Structure 1
Amino acid sequence: MRSRWFHIPKFHTIQSNMEKRVGWLELFYDLIFVASFIQLGNTLSEYVSIERFFGFIALFTPIWIVWYGFTHFANRFDVDDFLHRSIVYCQMFAVGAMAVTVPQALRGEHQLFAYAYAGAQFCIFLMYLRCRFHQKEGRETTTHWALVWLAGTLLWLISAWLPTPYAYGAWVLGLLLVIGSPLRRSVRAFEMRYPVDLEHLSERYGLMTIIVLGESFVKMLGGLVANEPSLPALAHASFALIVTCALWWIYFDDIADSRLRRFPFAYPLWLFGHLPLHCGTIAVGVGLQKVIYFDLWAPGDPKYRWLLCGALALVFFATALVESVTERKNAVLSDQLRVYVRLLFGFLMVVLPAAAATMPSLWFLVLLAGACLIQVGFDMMTAPFDERNLLKHHGGEHPPAPAPKPGRTVGSGHSVSRGAPSNLRQDLFTYFMQASWIALFITIAVFFFLLNVLFAALYLMVPDTIANARPDSFADAFYFSVQTMSTIGYGTLTPTSDYGHIIATIEAGVSWICVALVTGLIFAKASRPRHAVLFSEPILLTRHNSQPVLMFRVGNARGNDIIDASLNLTVLIDEVTDEGNHLRAVKDLKLTRSSTPFFSMTWLVIHPVDEDSPLFGLGPDQIAARVSAFCAVIVGHDGTYSQSVYARHTYYPEDVKADHTFVDVLSSLDDGRVVVDYHRFHQTQPVKGSPPE
């Protein structure tokens, strides 16, 4: 037991035996930041302008840095006594004072805010100073961070006595001192020797993300309460809910459970990449509050459009930054694609406000919600499986692989890859070659629409770019983009300036590339040979020419020539080695005829169950107990496609049927042609002399 009045702080790393969880004090500590963020959001909401937005970012940054400082300390040290709690409470009062003095700081009265922030930094300095004297392990990093926070305290104290321009310069130096410290080689070397507990940090950063997303709900509900309930108000609320839920989805599916990549600056970029992400999320909440006042059938206020789109762009760019240094655990596509998608939508958010100058607010909101939902759909496409259900851990070890179940094809390509390196995962070409035609066409349509929206927005960035178009008409700009991208060129709408010609040239180049890629993909997918090989549903354990055999039937339902076809049959059977080890062996089954020069009708595949067969002496009950599956693979050259084709099928023990033979499916017409009756392809009949069922 340790004293609640005073105990020695314990240095914590990922190598520690104790699992570190978010404590009650940390959760209570975060409450003061809820109030601070609400106050910051209110100050931005009162008067929206470019100057106020940058002022909002400038004041959010030091508040977030204080939270980071305490979070980093709590990750490194385990301490919870009277002295530590007292210091934390003092820091909470300082953060509260920062929140209260935000309006004065935005008006240029920076002294009180500087004093409050200096006090918050000094509390972090005291935490590290105490650990510096009482804990020898990790003293190197303790000394470093104590000096960093002390220097930051002094800079902010000095800034309170400086005139406004110079005071802000001292603020920047103080913040860069903290942000730049993890980039130092000595700090990174220490982090490699004593790794931080990233699981604890991920949980803390996830909780902070929940807090800033909650700010969006607070702003939205505040705006709804200020207005009388109506159908448009509910539409606005639905839009806000979609955007907020999509942001939650993007973060907690793509970032929260991801691993850090192994390169020197991954950790600091992950840490401070959350700063613009959290800042932008709060600004999104303010923007969602403002769009409630939009008339759905008229263009919205430009400054509110720019606020919402700019905040979303900041979130998407920050998400791209964080995702560039992480690897998703259960993705089937390369992680780099996530970064490209975030950058694409971030850039779209930058140009969309100008394009929405004459656009009804309803369509503007639909585009924003659609941009968020498309990213959710992309997330589902890149990671269609939930890793928590893929593998359960028991005592830190992997459980044994379950036996194949009926309906699941062994080795059929339906396996789930887990932990594959990002550069070895599927690319988009492989993904769409295996995907359905519907998925491919939906993706092409969505991408085509987004590209035209993007270029329409670029045309509208400069007025009077398109001749004969209605002034500031997004529809005309969109249709002109479609004509340019598809090279239709009716001649009515044309560029009128150098800017318009430059954008049209860029769009033409992008169009050539996209058309070539899509054409090649569709052609490759359409021309890919597909077999029409049919396997009999049962596999028979019977007698043939008075000899026990295992047999099944295959047929070429298309009836074309498959030349030089060969078939291989294997069995997955349980065995015990001489050392007593239990294993599942894969053994080849010898066939009476394993190849045929032409395969256009049916083929009766027979395996003699003799002394050399792994199935020798096994009846249906023994096969059910020891055999996992029979795998049949047929390969041949398709005369129609002039390419090799293959087919694969798996039989399970429950597919084995004893003492039966197949019904004859071949007959002849009067003109000599052979008829294959596939209605009877799977039918069997008892062998003569076999006991009745």
Structure 2
Amino acid sequence: MVRKTKDPGFGYKSIHDAKDIINDDGSSNVIHINRKKSINDLYTYFVDISWWHFFLLIIISYTVINIIFGLVYVTIGIEQITKPKGTFLQDFLNGFFFSAQTLTTVGYGGIAPKGITANFVAAFEAMIGLLSFSFITGLLYGRFSKPKAKIKFSDNLILRKFKKERALMFRLMNMRKTVMIEPEIKVTLSISEKNKKGAYVRNFFNLQLERDKIMYLPTVWTVVHVIDEKSPLYNYSDDEIEKLDAFLYILINYHEESFAQKVYQIYSYDFDKLETNVKYVSAASFDKEGYTVLDHDHLSEVEKIT
């Protein structure tokens, strides 16, 4: 008998063609409004953003701070750090580069504060520089030390005949050269359909898998859900399954040797990615010396079943 599961936190309400709640990279696709923010959120934000975004913010912040202090030095009198050049741009550039030297505590010696006001400003800027670079160093450590799974999922789902039944399948592999130890996977199916009142509602099902846990994974794991009498997809034809407004939500965890601890990764599939009457092409082969060769480009490759 097919059993529905309780709402895992997505909500039962739905609409036609509702967007996926989880992005392909495992991040949330939920739009938050009226969310209260605090200073404590900054660390999480800087640790989770992409590397290019992280360094772009650092460069922009560094430039803006130097522009502000460059203008301050021009305002209090550029003669307090060096001889005036006669034009605002040249004086500003001298103030900008002196600010950069002070902020980074480099201090080439070519320009130095002479007046009491300039010394106070430079001392305050040096303190900001020390605090800023300490903050950036902590963020860099947090980004590098944060345990992260590195699993690549196939771009597609497939629906094919399997052991006198049908089966829903997808594949995954480790993007690192380490071996995934005791990987365990859980898959939740979400189907949006109209109820008797004509409103769209979500129904959730925990899918039974052929294997939901293995000892270790050095190559590729094909995750299989057999569509038998216990499957929520049993009463649907292949064409009906293709047209379902449905998602698979996947949670996998394993022991990662690089971090010496258990790591987790979330992924989701839209049934728009479903392919029927095909099978996956082997992603592993052997070279002339007998070593196993794993081709990452073949993870999603399929061929027609004849």
**TM superposition score normalised by structure 1:** 0.38
Aligned twin of 2:15: 401
Q: Pick from 109, 123, 127 the counterpart of residue 509 of structure 1.
A: 127
Aligned residue pair count: 290
Shift of 1:514: 1.1
Q: Retained in 1: the 8 A contact 2:81–2:118?
A: no
Q: 3-state SS of the aligned residue for 2:214?
A: strand
Query: Aligned pair 1:422/2:10, yes or no?
Result: no
Deviation at 1:635, TM superposition (A): 2.0
CA contact (8 A) 1:565 1:635 kept: yes
Q: Give the C-alpha shift of residue 576 in structure 1.
A: 7.2
How far is the alpha carbon of 1:507 from its aligned partner?
A: 0.9
Give the aligned partner of residue 653 of structure 1.
Answer: 271
Greater percentage in helix: 1
Work out which of the residue numbers 240, 243, 249 in structure 2 matches 1:622.
240
Asked if structure 1 preserves the Cα contact closer than 8 Å seen for 2:245 and 2:271, the reply is: yes
TM-score (norm: length of structure 2): 0.79
Unaligned runs of 5+ in 2: 1-12
1:439 equivalent among 50, 53, 67: 53
1:458 — aligned with what? 72
Contact kept? 2:186, 2:252, Cα under 8 Å: yes
CA contact 1:628–1:653 (8 Å) conserved in 2: yes
Maintained 8 Å contact 1:572/1:584: yes
Q: Pick from 97, 116, 121 the counterpart of residue 479 of structure 1.
A: 97
Decide whether aligned partners of structure 1 residues 583 and 461 sit closer, same or farther in structure 2, where only a CA change above 3 A counts: closer
Kept in 2: contact 1:469–1:476 (CA 8 A):
no
Q: Structure 1: how far apart are the matches of 2:279 and 2:130? A: 59
Distance 2:55 2:151 in 1: 28
Q: What percent identity do the matched residue pairs reach?
A: 25
**AA partner of residue 680 (structure 1):** H
* Contact 2:193 2:245 (C-alpha < 8 Å) held by counterparts: no
SS at match of 1:502: helix
Matches within 5 A, 1:458-607: 458-463=72-77, 466-470=80-84, 473-574=91-192, 583-607=201-225
Could you tell me which amino acid in structure 2 is paired with residue 597 of structure 1?
A: M
For residue 570 of structure 1, report the CA deviation from its aligned partner: 1.3
Task: Give yes or no for the alignment of 1:612 onto 2:226.
Answer: no
Change (3 A) 1:608 1:493: same
Secondary structure, counterpart of 2:184 in structure 1: strand
The 1:520–1:484 alpha-carbon spacing in structure 2 relative to 1, beyond 3 Å, is: same
1:34-45 → structure 2 map (5 Å cutoff): none
Distance 1:424 1:589, change over 3 A: farther
Equivalent runs, 1:294-443 vs 2, <5 Å? 401-404=15-18, 409=23, 412-423=26-37, 427-443=41-57
Is the contact made by 1:571 and 1:627 (CA closer than 8 Å) also made in structure 2?
no
Alignment of 1:3-22 (within 5 A): none
Q: What CA distance in whole angstroms lies between the structure 2 residues aligned with 1:467 and 1:643?
A: 54
Contact 1:566 1:634 in 2 (8 A): yes
| Greater fraction of residues in strand | 2
Deviation, structure 1 residue 627: 4.3
- Report the equivalent of 2:302: 684
Unpaired segments of 5 or more residues in structure 1?
1-398, 689-693
CA spacing shift, 1:543–1:463, aligned 2, 3 Å: closer
Residue by residue over 1:175-209, the C-alpha shift from the partner in whole angstroms, topping out at 9 and shown as x without a partner, is xxxxxxxxxxxxxxxxxxxxxxxxxxxxxxxxxxx
1:452–1:482 Cα contact (<8 Å) kept: yes
User: CA offset at residue 405 of structure 1?
Assistant: 5.7
Helix, strand or coil for the counterpart of 2:209?
Answer: coil
Distance 1:571 1:674, change over 3 A: same
Deviation at 1:588, TM superposition (A): 0.9
Runs of 4+ with >6 A deviation = 576-581
Distance 1:569 1:467 in 2: 65
Shift of 1:419: 2.2
Q: Is the 8 A contact 2:157 2:271 kept in 1?
A: no
Amino acid at match of 2:299: F
Bigger RCO of structures 1 and 2 (CA < 8 A, at least 6 apart) = 2
- Farther-moved stretch of structure 1 (487-496 vs 649-658): 649-658
